[in-house]
Structure 1
């Protein structure tokens, strides 16, 4: 239930499903199953720099928890050593960028204690990542790329934007160092089907975490309103919408869900609430009826990723995911 106070306590969570009950990793999965059950294959997109170590650690942690296969992927450009045609003794031949990357990936994956493999790709970065995810049947893409950093000649911000627009599976952008499982998750919601899918995915994948639904209402000309009248009217409508939305959720999800309804821009409130509540993961639907969830508007997605200091999980809308998977 969503009341004027906004925040409610949650009930104990159920235990995770046994990994042994899962079908083979390469078996095609229905879209609903893909999102409602933890992925059996994870693609980690890394540029092999120290800034991607946090994403590596998180991807390994998730693969271990879900008994999933991890595919570590890096995209390299052709270099002079790869194009060299003159035969040279082995000791004089310089290793190509692809060979060096393969060595590092293998060294990083050695001894992690999970099913893992590496892949080297060439070309446009986002396209190569999406191709690897499609080829492997991955249910999650993990990356640690940040807006002001680069991957080859491509900007990492552009790469994340392209992945957010085009990925048919959830995208996890890692910011923080992994200290165990995600403990507190805030799911932004505009009460659309997209935000419902994002919330349900987070609840299923992270079944031991405390969940909070955050709804940000930002009425037009809010700064010009009388605080004691019109703003309260807008809040009452938002709270009522929240109550109706929560009432449609599965009972087990309602039992573990806290809610908060606040006035303000979603990207601002997400960051503020994450700090105040010590949340370690924000969850968003990639499409919905408000600008926050329309990831096709790159500037909005970028503001969320820029301003939210914690890890962000972007979950595509079912119809959009199906279209992307079909190459539409």
Structure 2
């Protein structure tokens, strides 16, 4: 089953940075597999105020230049993608910013939005760019924030790691993770975490808890959330991880050898409509590989 069926486009934000080129290549590989159109979206700087006829002329020249620069950025991304995927349907979408608004408007009911982890002006580090974070916070489609190397952007056959907490968005993340692992013939690592004895002070309420029973209940919850999906995707090898601890640090333990982390935008304790929870935000900032955030 294609969990993103009914949506035809994959939208990727491009800004001329290496991260956006890597994101475009990754998105193109997914688009090729699902027979989707790839839309390269680039936002131009917004127009400023005009105070005089001379300013009008200067601004016109400036706008022409940034339009040319934007078209060059799109052309470079399109060329990088077309070199590896010559038969892929690629379209471009250039419009005034702000970038977050333009990308979200370009996405519409897209199957997937893909963003580079850092923008053209970002420090060369793992810090997450503000546009990527805003898009991941406000999109209705799943969002993948890409990290990796432009030369080998993926996807590949390394494991897909999915976080499970029993929330509706967690179940959607499981669907996306199984689908992705199946399409790219990758194994799946399903991670469920829970509050363990170390959370309680020594000699406190924790001594009254049957931790063996808790562990069995949490393992059962993990199995329940995987029920049906393993049968639907019998060719996907699944490793189940259920252990005490905070979700993000535990998932990051398994991320070094993973090609993708998949997580819901917020968990069981988040209010409806709230921005992303701490786990998804933590992973977006610190994961060494792409992170897919299930929004719907």
Same fold (TM over 0.5): yes
1:193–1:249 Cα change, 3 Å: farther
Aligned-partner Cα distance in 2 for 1:93–1:248: 57
Select between 106-115 and 217-226 the one with higher mean Cα deviation: 217-226
Unaligned runs of 5+ in 2: none
Matched, 1:204 2:179: yes
Q: Which among 249, 252, 264 is matched to residue 268 of structure 1?
A: 249
**1:124-150 Cα distance to aligned partner (Å, 9 max, x none):** 22111110111xx42110001339964
Aligned-partner Cα distance in 2 for 1:267–1:295: 19
Q: Which among 155, 158, 172 is matched to residue 144 of structure 2?
A: 172
Q: Secondary structure at the match of 1:96?
A: helix
**1:259-278 Cα distance to aligned partner (Å, 9 max, x none):** 11011111101111122xx1
Contact 1:288 1:294 in 2 (8 A): no
Select between 110-119 and 249-258 the one with higher mean Cα deviation: 249-258
Q: Kindly state the Cα deviation for residue 105 of structure 1 after the two structures are TM-superposed.
A: 1.0
User: Match for residue 223 of structure 2?
Assistant: 243
Please provide the CA RMSD for this pair. 3.6
Task: Give the paired residue count.
Answer: 274
User: Match for residue 57 of structure 1?
Assistant: 25
The residue correspondences of 1:189-228 to structure 2 (distance < 5 A) are 189-207=164-182, 208-219=185-196, 222-224=199-201
Contact 1:286 1:295 in 2 (8 A): no
Matched, 1:308 2:280: no
Aligned-partner Cα distance in 2 for 1:100–1:230: 63
1:294–1:241 Cα change, 3 Å: farther
Aligned-partner Cα distance in 2 for 1:163–1:261: 31
TM-score by length of 2: 0.78
**1:169-201 Cα distance to aligned partner (Å, 9 max, x none):** 110100113244353101100022221111112
**1:83-137 Cα distance to aligned partner (Å, 9 max, x none):** 742799xxx9994212211123124313431211211122322111110111xx4
Q: Kindly state the Cα deviation for residue 281 of structure 1 after the two structures are TM-superposed.
A: 0.4
1:264–1:99 Cα change, 3 Å: same
1:50–1:121 Cα change, 3 Å: same
Q: Secondary structure at the match of 1:118?
A: strand
Aligned-partner Cα distance in 2 for 1:173–1:161: 9
User: Match for residue 186 of structure 1?
Assistant: 161
